[in-house]
């Protein structure tokens, strides 16, 4: 491949012989090079494909400012995520590297940041928080920097963002707040706390996350329309789950600023009934 653009001595944008643009990272791989020169493959330590449509100025600034070691850590973390079968967007590496870069700077300067919703994030996204902790370990191993344990929270949220191809971190935190509120409604309705780290809770969260994505894109549910009789049956068979689902539906409509259908009410009732059965052994008793 040939160099298209040099960002610093260790990072360059290169074009493969098939025409694909790729960021290449390696100690001294761009030193003394010019545009059009061949990349020495023996010096390439990591590569990644930048997200399509990223403004060149933004990419250039980030790649020039972020140390190659941190880009390398972010690239390895992407490989780790993919090896676990998690689908993420191309926008994962650069936001992650940018966050790691500033986190390292803060740690070296003794600046501590308090992240909101740490408890909720840990409960709602246990897999992503495990990733965040692994990222802290990798930073310690590669860079010799001990980041605060709570840095696992925003790193986890970067993974949540990337799974749903969004760069809006504030929106992801807002979504997490709403999920916490929804679990509060269910806990109150059944008179017992919800184990948010359970598999049934994880399935429910996945359903809610896709609902948020569909709402943001203005796309209706992809599921088959439910039969009206099914909802009527659920009202009787799972009365408390249905009562909770109606409250959850109202919360979602307020925050999403759109009206949801009876189909969505049906699926919410089913999910809450399953959640209640798994956690409490019942989905129809009234507290």
Helix, strand, coil shares of the chain, percent, nearest 5, are: 60, 5, 30
Q: What is the pTM assigned to this prediction?
A: 0.65
pLDDT tens-place string over residues 5-28 = 888 888 888 988 888 888 899 889
The pLDDT of residue 165 is 58
> Region 182-190: what's the mean pLDDT?
93
DSSP annotation of 111: -
| Residue 207: pLDDT over 60 | yes
Q: Could you tell me the two tokens for 246?
A: 């109606």
Per the CB < 8 A criterion, the answer to whether 242 and 262 are in contact is no
Class level of CATH domain 169-280:
mainly alpha
The pLDDT of residue 286 is 38
Return the CATH number of the domain spanning residue range 1-50: 2.30.24.10
Distances (CA, A) of 230 to 102, 214, 277: 52, 23, 18
Q: What is the rounded CA–CA span in Å between residue 4 and residue 37?
A: 8
| Residues contacting 205, CB < 8 A, separation 6+ | 124, 125, 179, 196
Residue 185: pLDDT band (50, 70, 90) is: very high
Name the residue ranges covered by the structural domains of the chain: 1-50, 66-167, 169-280
The pLDDT of residue 213 is 74
Burial 264-281 (b: 16+ CB within 10 A, else e): bbbbbbbbbbbbbebbee
Phi first, then psi, for residue 80 (nearest 5°) are: -60, -45
Whether the domain at 1-50 and the domain at 169-280 fall into the same CATH topology? no
Q: Is 253 helix (H, G, I), strand (E, B) or coil?
A: helix
Return the CATH number of the domain spanning residue range 66-167: 1.10.1790.10
pLDDT tens-place string over residues 67-97 = 889 999 999 999 999 898 888 876 788 889 9
| Residue 229: pLDDT over 70 | yes
The pLDDT of residue 285 is 46
Q: Could you tell me the two tokens for 232?
A: 């009527």
Q: Is 98 helix (H, G, I), strand (E, B) or coil?
A: helix
């Amino acid at each position: 491949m040939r160099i298209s653009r040099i960002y610093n001595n260790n990072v360059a944008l290169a074009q493969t012989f098939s025409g694909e643009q790729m960021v290449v990272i390696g100690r001294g791989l761009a030193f003394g090079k010019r545009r059009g020169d061949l990349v020495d493959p023996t010096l390439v330590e990591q590569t990644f494909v930048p997200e399509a449509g990223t403004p060149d100025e933004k990419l250039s600034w980030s790649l020039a400012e972020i140390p190659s070691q941190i880009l390398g850590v972010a690239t390895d973390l992407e490989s780790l995520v993919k090896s676990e079968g998690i689908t993420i967007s191309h926008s994962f590496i650069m936001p992650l590297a940018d966050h790691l870069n500033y986190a390292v700077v803060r740690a070296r300067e003794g600046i501590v940041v308090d992240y909101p919703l740490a408890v909720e994030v840990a409960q709602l996204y246990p897999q992503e928080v495990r990733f965040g902790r692994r990222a802290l370990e990798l930073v310690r191993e590669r860079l010799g920097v001990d980041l605060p344990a709570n840095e696992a929270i925003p790193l986890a949220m970067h993974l949540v963002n990337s799974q749903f191809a969004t760069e809006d971190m504030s929106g992801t935190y807002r979504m997490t707040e709403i999920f916490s509120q929804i679990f509060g409604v269910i806990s109150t309705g059944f008179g017992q706390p919800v184990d948010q780290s359970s598999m049934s809770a994880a399935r429910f969260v996945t359903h809610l996350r896709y609902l948020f994505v569909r709402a943001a894109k203005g796309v209706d549910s992809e599921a088959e329309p439910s039969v009206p009789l099914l909802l009527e049956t659920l009202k009787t068979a799972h009365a408390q789950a249905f009562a909770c689902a109606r409250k959850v539906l109202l919360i979602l409509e307020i925050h999403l600023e759109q009206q949801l259908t009876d189909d969505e009410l049906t699926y919410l009732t089913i999910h809450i009934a399953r959640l209640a059965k798994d956690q409490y052994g019942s989905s129809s008793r009234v507290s």
